């Protein structure tokens, strides 16, 4: 009954990220509750968490349960929506992957929680205190009016204050770990407030490739230590205590930083949390992100630098796959998936060094007569003006509200009204469909091409099923990633010789060959999400 009012937001891009439980555990902890409180036999509860309801060895998958209890489902970026349609495809047998009912709402960040005091001041002068309180169309033109000098001043101030914070923090960290007084004191002088400052902070999980920059340590060292154009890097992150591989990646960095020549250029800050993240995203010039596509469902840390004038250099994964254009930052990868191929990792590591060496570093150090890197500042302005409103929670919450929460609330009210009259009707409709489905079939198909149109006439045998309980559609796969063609056919007459036989017709443009089209029967009931709530489908061929 509540199904129509529930929205399932899926957050992982790998099947292994779904929680699964042994059937015996479900029985032990939920069996009594299901049977006594819900009146649901254990095997029916278990079926809700299984791809194949009849396979008693299949574990209980929480994501399957969630999607079967919802009236809509969404991923957290456009690419993640696509990946999720693939992951949930097994639950919708014979449905094209593009029609697996998982859409997307791209995450956003709450800008006023992540901007620095200096950024807040600049933004307030440009577009007012209430800039994040309603619609955000005014943001883009207002940000375009900020001068180069003001933007660069923001950057310089922010970098300076990050370096102050990082020195203190590293020094405290070293003291706590029993380092020598020279080391502890040395930390308070590390880094150059005028040098290009890169940030990399995240959970150390192998798919995020936090060691991609270490692929060629000698090359990294050359980049960092160029006396004319020095670079410095702040790294932060934790690995899950049981993730040995993740721990090893942290260790690799610690080893690298121990060398006397790297020490002045890299800091590893431990205990990454939102407080540390706040300082990092406010102060860095460039935020790095190097996951293996498509495993970063969205990623949000890179969005937090936008409002502060930081730039992103990221794999084309998660949000960056939809945010990136060449004038707002830098992209890594070819927009394709390469799994865990070490040869591809090596190629991307080289591309990352090349990008830093040939694009990022020169642009940062190319100064005009005022000492301002004008191309860099232009990129900051584009990133702030265009991406900040798009990746703000303003846009995210609006999309959830308009596309999901309001329709779901209305759908729930409809179903629940009159002690669930509509809800009961939906259940009855579904039961009837299931009982009758095996009897449905197609008869003859005739096609006439008249001028610019193919006119299809198709015999459909619905037998005892009310024709209003289904839709007959003409379908053709999309071409080159476009949406498929789905055209509702019209019931034009009864077949004289059969009580439940009908002729349906539809006309389509003759631009595509006849053979691209096929007919299908799908469930139809007002207000019911198909195929999410009813996944039957019968193809003509
Ligand atoms: C924003 C944030 C995250 C999530 O960002 P990712 O881009 O997914 O890494 C994780 N940890 C902290 C402390 C954060 O502030």
The Cα–Cα gap between 277 and 310 comes to 13
Residue with the smallest CA separation from ligand 1 atom 10 is 202
pLDDT band at 98 (very low <50, low <70, confident <90, very high): very high
Q: Which helix (H) or strand (E) holds 490?
A: strand 490-494
- Using 50, 70 and 90 to split pLDDT, how confident is the model at 498? confident
**What is the DSSP code string of 378-434?**
HHHHHIIIIIHHHTBHHHHHHHIIIIIIHHHHHHHHHHHHHHHHHHHHHHHHHHHHH
Q: Whose CA is nearest to atom 8 of ligand 1?
A: 299
* H helix or E strand, kind and range, residue 287: strand 286-289
Taking each helix axis from N to C end, the angle separating 117-127 and 148-176, rounded to the nearest 10 degrees, works out to 160
* 47: pLDDT strictly greater than 90: yes
Atom of ligand 1 nearest to the CA of 277: 15
* pLDDT (mean) for 261-275: 96
Peptide bond into 294 cis (omega under 30): yes
Q: Is 396 left (phi over 0), alpha (psi -120 to 50) or beta?
A: alpha
d(CA 431, CA 538): 17
User: pLDDT digit string (tens) for 377-394?
Assistant: 999 999 999 999 999 999
Q: Domains along the chain? A: 3-106+399-420 (no CATH), 111-126+142-391 (3.40.50.2000), 440-539 (2.60.40)
Which residues, in sequence order, are CB contacts of 331 under 8 Å at separation 6+? 313, 314, 315, 316, 320, 324
What's the pLDDT at 497? 85
How far apart are the C-alpha atoms of 459 and 505, rounded to whole Å? Answer: 9
Pocket test for ligand 1, best of 77, 202, 310 (most atoms within 8 A of CB): 202
Please check whether residue 535 is in contact with residue 95, taking contact to mean a CB–CB distance below 8 angstroms.
Answer: yes
Q: How many residues does the chain have?
A: 541
Mean pLDDT of 431-435: 97
Pocket test for ligand 1, best of 113, 273, 277, 393 (most atoms within 8 A of CB): 277
Cα 372 to ligand 1 centre (Å): 31
Whether 90 contacts 51, CB under 8 Å: yes
Q: What is the pLDDT of residues 211-259, one digit of tens each?
A: 999 999 999 999 999 999 999 999 999 999 999 999 999 999 999 999 9
Ligand 1 atom 9, closest CA: 202
Using the mean position of ligand 1's atoms as its centre, give its distance from the Cα of residue 285 in Å.
17
Q: What is the pLDDT of residue 481?
A: 82
The pLDDT of residue 464 = 95
Residues 303 and 109 sit within 8 Å (Cβ to Cβ): yes
Predicted local distance difference test score (pLDDT) of residue 2? 87
CA–CA dist 229, 196 (Å, integer): 8
Report how far ligand 1's centroid is from the alpha carbon of 191 (Å).
24
Please state, rounded to an integer, the average pLDDT across all residues of the chain.
96
User: Ligand 1 center to residue 236 CA distance, Å?
Assistant: 11
What lines the ligand 1 site, CB under 6 Å?
202, 272-274, 277, 299-301, 304
Ligand 1 center to residue 348 CA distance, Å? Answer: 23
Order of all β-strands in the sheet with 485-488: 485-488, 470-476, 518-523, 538-539
Q: Which of 444, 497, 498 is nearest to 467 (CA)?
A: 498
| CA atoms of 148 and 159, how far apart (whole Å) | 17
Beta carbons of 282 and 109 less than 8 angstroms apart: no
Q: Whose CA is nearest to atom 1 of ligand 1?
A: 301
Q: Give, for ligand 1, the residue of 13, 208, 274, 307 to mutate: max count of ligand atoms closer than 8 Å to Cβ.
A: 274
CA 241 to ligand 1 center in whole angstroms: 17
Q: Residue 408 pLDDT > 80, yes or no?
A: yes
| Selection from 224, 68, 107, 152 nearest residue 370 by Cα | 152
- Give the ligand 1 atom nearest the CA of 208: 9
pLDDT at 180 over 90: yes
Atom 14 (ligand 1): residue with closest C-alpha?
274
Query: Helix/strand/coil (H, E, C) string of 124-193?
Result: HHHHCCCCCCCCCCCHHHHHHCCCHHHHHHHHHHHHHHHHHHHHHHHHHHHHHCCCCHHHHHHHHHCCCC
Is the pLDDT reported for residue 1 higher than 80? no
Give me 273's structure tokens.
């949390």
Residue 59 C-alpha to ligand 1 middle, in angstroms? Answer: 31
pLDDT interval class at 480 (50, 70, 90):
confident
* Vertex 466 angle, CA 464 and 471, to 5°: 120
| 338 closest CA partner among 531, 242, 207 | 207
Mean pLDDT, residues 191-198 taken together: 98
**Could you write out the DSSP letters of every residue in 66-133?**
HHHT-SEEEESSHHHHHHHHHHHGGGSTTS-GGGSS-EE----B-HHHH--HHHHHHHHHHH-TTTTS
Q: Tell me the three state secondary structure of residue 288.
A: strand
Pairing type for strands 311-315 and 329-332 reads parallel
């Amino acid at each position: 009954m509540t199904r129509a009012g529930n929205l399932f937001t899926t957050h992982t891009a790998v099947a292994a990220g779904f929680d699964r439980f042994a059937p015996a555990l479900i029985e032990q902890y939920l069996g009594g509750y299901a049977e006594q409180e819900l009146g649901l036999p254990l095997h029916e509860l278990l079926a809700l968490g299984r791809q194949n309801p009849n396979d008693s060895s299949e574990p209980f998958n929480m994501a399957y349960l969630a999607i079967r209890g919802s009236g809509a489902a969404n991923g957290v970026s456009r690419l993640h929506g696509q990946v999720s349609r693939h992951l949930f495809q097994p639950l919708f047998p014979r449905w094209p992957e593009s029609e697996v009912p998982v859409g997307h709402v791209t995450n956003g960040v709450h800008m006023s929680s992540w901007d620095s005091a200096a950024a807040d001041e600049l933004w307030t002068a440009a577009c007012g205190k209430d800039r994040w309180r309603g619609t955000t169309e005014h943001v883009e033109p207002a940000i375009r009016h900020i001068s180069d000098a003001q933007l660069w001043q923001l950057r310089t101030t922010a970098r300076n204050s990050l370096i102050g914070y990082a020195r203190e923090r590293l020094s405290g960290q070293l003291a706590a770990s029993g380092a020598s007084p020279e080391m502890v004191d040395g930390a308070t002088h590390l880094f150059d407030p005028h040098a290009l400052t890169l940030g990399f902070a995240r959970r150390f999980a192998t798919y995020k490739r936090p060691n991609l920059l270490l692929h060629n340590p000698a090359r990294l060292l050359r980049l960092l230590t160029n006396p004319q154009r020095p670079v410095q890097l702040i790294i932060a992150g934790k690995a899950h205590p049981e993730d040995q591989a993740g721990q090893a990646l942290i260790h690799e960095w610690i080893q690298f930083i121990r060398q006397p020549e790297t020490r002045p250029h890299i800091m590893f800050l431990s205990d990454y949390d939102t407080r540390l993240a706040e300082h990092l995203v406010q102060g860095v010039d460039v935020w790095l992100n190097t996951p293996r596509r498509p495993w970063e469902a969205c990623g949000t840390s890179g969005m937090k630098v936008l409002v502060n004038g930081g730039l992103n250099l990221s794999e084309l994964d998660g949000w960056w796959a939809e945010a990136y254009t060449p004038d707002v930052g830098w992209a890594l990868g070819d927009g394709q998936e390469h799994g865990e191929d070490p040869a591809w990792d090596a190629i991307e590591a080289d591309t990352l060094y090349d990008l830093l060496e040939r694009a990022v570093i020169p642009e940062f150090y190319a100064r005009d007569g005022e000492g301002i890197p004008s191309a860099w500042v232009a990129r900051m302005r584009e990133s702030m003006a265009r991406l900040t409103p798009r990746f703000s929670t303003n846009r995210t919450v609006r999309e959830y509200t308009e596309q999901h929460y309001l329709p779901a609330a209305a759908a729930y009210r409809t179903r629940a009204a009159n002690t669930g009259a509509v809800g009961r009707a939906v259940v009855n409709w579904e039961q009837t469909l299931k009982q009758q489905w095996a009897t449905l079939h197609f008869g003859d198909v005739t096609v006439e091409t008249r001028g610019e149109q193919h006119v299809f006439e198709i015999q459909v045998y619905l037998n005892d099923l009310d024709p209003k309980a289904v839709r007959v559609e003409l379908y053709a796969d999309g071409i080159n990633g476009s949406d498929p063609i789905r055209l509702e056919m019209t019931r034009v007459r009864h077949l004289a010789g059969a009580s439940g036989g009908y002729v349906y017709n539809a006309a389509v443009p003759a631009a595509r060959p006849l053979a691209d089209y096929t007919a299908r029967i799908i469930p139809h009931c007002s207000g019911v999400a198909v195929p999410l709530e009813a996944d039957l489908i019968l193809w003509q061929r």
